[in-house]
Amino acid sequence: MLEADLQKVTEGSIAVVQRGTCTFGDKYKTAAAKGAKALVIVNNAPGDWKGGTLGLDDGASIAVVGVAQDAPIADGQDLTLTVDAKTQKAKTWNVLAETEKGDDANVQMVGAHLDGVTEGPGINDNGTGSAAVLETAAKLGAGADVKNKVRFALWGAEEEGLVGSEHYVSSLSEEQASKITRYLNFDMLGSPNGGYFTFDGDGSSKLDGGAGPAGSGVIEQVFRNYFAWRNVPVEASAFDGRSDYGPFKDVGIASGGADTGADGKKTEAQQRQWGGTVGEIYDPNYHSPRDTIDNVNRDIYRVAIGAVGFSTAYFAAL
């Protein structure tokens, strides 16, 4: 059953829908609102699939399961679903640190998620981003003579649905939020088959998600300038809300960041400009046990890590 077909779900049925297009949470909400008893999401790509998030604060009222693409499910077929599940509460932390000096009505935030998926060690996703943010913070130092205050954030539980950044942003008063001028996000900086991406802040690349909040175009341009200086081509990526910039963008804080690619496939044109393998995803170890330190692309990381220091320094002094 396709996305639009969720509208046809009848009371008491088990809804079956493909993965992709809208979020698991949106699929769930539609199915639950239509009175489905359960929702089965069928993978849209071959291979293993574990994990996923509904992004809900209050839990799900119907069972939601994910199955492999080749699961033997046909349209209109009788389906019985038995779910053996357990729920667990876990504690998680955000780690925040900021410079002593700098205008505190003009805060520049720099962040990365510190957690990883349970399926693997999470080194490219996101040891690379959090290490780069930590090193930038350590090099800048608490007493740095910055014009604008710089606040670093290492987020908890991004992989569970942006839980850490969402909690942080939603706990800000309106006044506190208004003092954050921009947020820079770094998630996956050493993808084995990667390239260089920065969010389409000005919307000029016409990608899903559109432009970022006012000021996001400037952030995009700063990252473009950095990669131009390093002599590597950079492409715009969609503001699809799949990392911790999402909650900032949602409340209108200018956002941006750089990354080296996740589960998108490398095109021929990208192979010509960056090298790597056409048709393979940017990080073939994405969310798997193979996301180890040996599988970080150090050449790519060496270039991408500089984008963190460059943008942080630029906006600290702007």
What lies within 8 Å, CB to CB, of 269 at 6+ separation is none
Q: Residue 32 or residue 189: which is nearer to Zn ion going by CB?
A: 189
Q: Residue 43 or residue 126: which is nearer to Zn ion going by CB?
A: 126
Three-class DSSP labels, 151-197: EEEEECCHHHCCHHHHHHHHCCCHHHHHCEEEEEEECCCCCCCCCCE
The least CB distance from residue 193 to Zn ion, in Å, is: 16
The least CB distance from residue 53 to Zn ion, in Å, is: 12
Token duo for residue 13: 């049925």
Contact characters 160-199, Zn ion, x per CB under 5 A: ---------------------------x------------
Is 160 known to be catalytic? no
How many residues are listed for the chain in this entry? 318
Among the options 158, 159, 160, 235, which is catalytic? 158
Among 108, 126, 165, 270, binds Zn ion (CB under 5 A): 126
What is the CA angle 271-69-56, rounded to 5?
Answer: 90
Count of residues of this chain found to bind Zn ion when the rule CB under 5 A is applied: 3
Phi, psi of 296 (to 5 degrees): -80, 135
Which 66-95 residues touch Zn ion, going by CB under 5 A? none
Q: Residue 220 or residue 283: which is nearer to Zn ion going by CB?
A: 283
Token duo for residue 293: 């330190």
Token duo for residue 30: 């539609």
In 3D space, the residue among 175, 312, 174 whose CA is nearest the CA of residue 256 turns out to be 312
> Considering the rule CB under 5 A, would residue 260 count as an interface residue with Zn ion?
no
Cis amide prior to 126 (ω within 30 degrees): yes
The least CB distance from residue 155 to Zn ion, in Å, is: 10
Among 98, 115, 125, 291, binds Zn ion (CB under 5 A): 125
Question: Which residues participate in catalysis according to the annotation?
Answer: 158
Binding site for Zn ion (CB under 5 A): 125-126, 187
